[in-house]
Structure formats: structure tokens, C-alpha cells
Amino acid sequence: MFKNVIVRVPSATISEGITSAHEGKPIYTKALMQHENYVSALTKTGVNVTVLEPHDEFPDSCFVEDVALCTSKCAIITRPGALSRRKEAALPDMLEALKGFYEHIEYIKDPGTVEAGDIMMVGDHFYIGLSARTNQAGADQMISILEKYGLSGQVVPLKKVLHLKTGLAYLENNNLLVAGEFKDDPEFAKFNKIEIDEDEAYGANCIWVNGYVLVPAGYPKVQKKIEDLGYKVLVVDTSEFRKIDGGLSCLSLRF
């Protein structure tokens, strides 16, 4: 069960965020509205939401998931692989917020790079994607820190997707949404895999929160598959964030 969530309000500069999508630039006012609806959906799951102020100098800073990994034992401040995002991990308000919840805070150091969008938590075990944003040195440091606290981790090489959780979502109870390159990955053979069709691949980025699953709007096949598993579904529009390579999980830290 999750008790707490941290989010950051999108900045007025969100249209300058990093993107590989070809969907146009996000509209700031629309992104704000979608973010408010996202927070509203989270509160329905019974969590306490801490809302941090926007940072206009960091267009991608609403994607708070990448700058920290929140575990049951400690918080780990990452070192983003994207240069334009590296200073986000050192923003004082995020550090203060995490210190309010955690006694133990660890840090990924140079030459390691990690973005926690590459990390999927399954109980006390963490799958860490090796990507353009998360390197072997960063993954090694992350696993070493996890093991220090009695947790564990393993690396998963990525071939195409930006982040590990672009194509995977763990919904508890051994249920795993899988899209694209992960469908046949032997690392995930033990899970009950719910395969996502190519035309709805973006919809694979869902989040489980206390028995609810937040699902992006516009992916009816994904939604039905999750409902068929018996979960309570909350549909949230993230279309403005998709324009800068963001999804549901990217927008919050959940612990």
C-alpha cells in the first residue's frame, strides 16, 4: 500500500521539454488542467499528495519520478542521464520533501546516471533498465544501495524504448502489463503477462495505487484488459504530457 505521493506542478516552459514524439508542443493551460485531474485521481486512492511548486528553468521537472527512487527503506536521489535534467535532482524543495518522509537518503554519483523511469519495483526487488538515460555504472550503484538496505535489483537491457516503464507496468498480484520488446523477454516469464497491442503501446504506462489502476485516456483495449482483471480503474488524460515523452508514472513519486 502507498501512503504518500509527491508531484510537481508543470512549469510555464513545459512546451520546451525534451521530446522524441511528433505530436506538437504541449499546451500549458491544458497540461495544468490534466495535472490537476491526475492529482484528483490519486487522492481517490487514499494517498496524501505533496504538491511542489513549478520550476520554469526546468521544462521537464513535472516528471518527478526520474529524480528519485522511493523504496520502503530509503530514498535514492538519482543523477539523470539527460543533461538538461541533471540539476532537477538537486532541487532543494524535493530534497526537503523527501527528508520529511525518509530518515535515509542516498545519492547516485558520477559517472553513474540513473533516471527512475527506468526502475520498476516488484515488492522488494527492482528491475533497472539500461537505457540512453541509465548507464551500467548508475545501475551498479543503485543495486549496491538497494542491497545495503536488504533490497535487491537486476539490470534489463533496453533496445528501443526510452525508459523501462515506457513498456512495462507492474499491477501487483503478479500481473504485469507488457508492450513491444518486453513481450518475449525471458526476464518476465514468471509474471502473468497482459500483452498490450502495438496501436495502444503508450497505454502500457499505467500505475497501481492501493487497488486502483490509473490508466491513460484513449486506450480502451488496455482499460478493458485491466478491468477484466478486477481492478478499479481511474482514467486520466495525459495527452499533453505524451507530447514530451511523459506518461502516468513519470508524474509522481509513490511510496
Of 180, 182, 179, 162, nearest to 245 by C-alpha is: 162
Contact 254, 70 (CB under 8 A): yes
pLDDT digits (tens, 9 = 90+) for 185-215: 999 999 999 999 999 999 999 999 999 999 9
Tens-place pLDDT, residues 125-168: 999 999 999 999 999 999 999 999 999 999 999 998 889 999 99
Q: How many structural domains is the chain composed of?
A: 1
What burial class does residue 207 get, using C-beta atoms within 10 Å of its C-beta: 0-12 exposed, 13-18 middle, 19+ buried? buried
Is 206 a catalytic site residue?
Answer: no
By residue range, what is the domain housing residue 21?
A: 4-254
pLDDT beyond 90 at 18: no
Residue 21 has pLDDT above 80, yes or no: no
Q: Say whether pTM exceeds 0.95.
A: yes
Q: What is the mean pLDDT of the segment spanning 111-132?
A: 98
The CATH number of the domain holding residue 112 is: 3.75.10.10
Cell numbers for 227, please give them.
478491468
Tell me which of 55, 74, 163, 206 is the catalytic residue: 163
User: Per mean pLDDT, which range of 16-25, 29-38, 101-110 is the poorest?
Assistant: 16-25
Is 62 tagged catalytic?
no
What single string gives the DSSP state of each residue in the chain?
Answer: ---EEEEEPPPTTGGGS-----S-PPPHHHHHHHHHHHHHHHHHTT-EEEEEPP-TT-TTTT-GGGGEEE-SS-EEE-B-SSGGGGGGGG-HHHHHHHHTT-S-EEE--TT--B-GGGEEEETTEEEEEE-SSS-HHHHHHHHHHHHHTT-EEEEEE-SS-SSGGGSEEE-STTEEEEEGGGTT-GGGTTSEEEEEPGGGGGGG--EEETTEEEEETT-HHHHHHHHHTTPEEEEE--HHHHTTT--TGGG-EE-
Task: Check 62, 74, 206, 250 and give the catalytic one.
Answer: 250
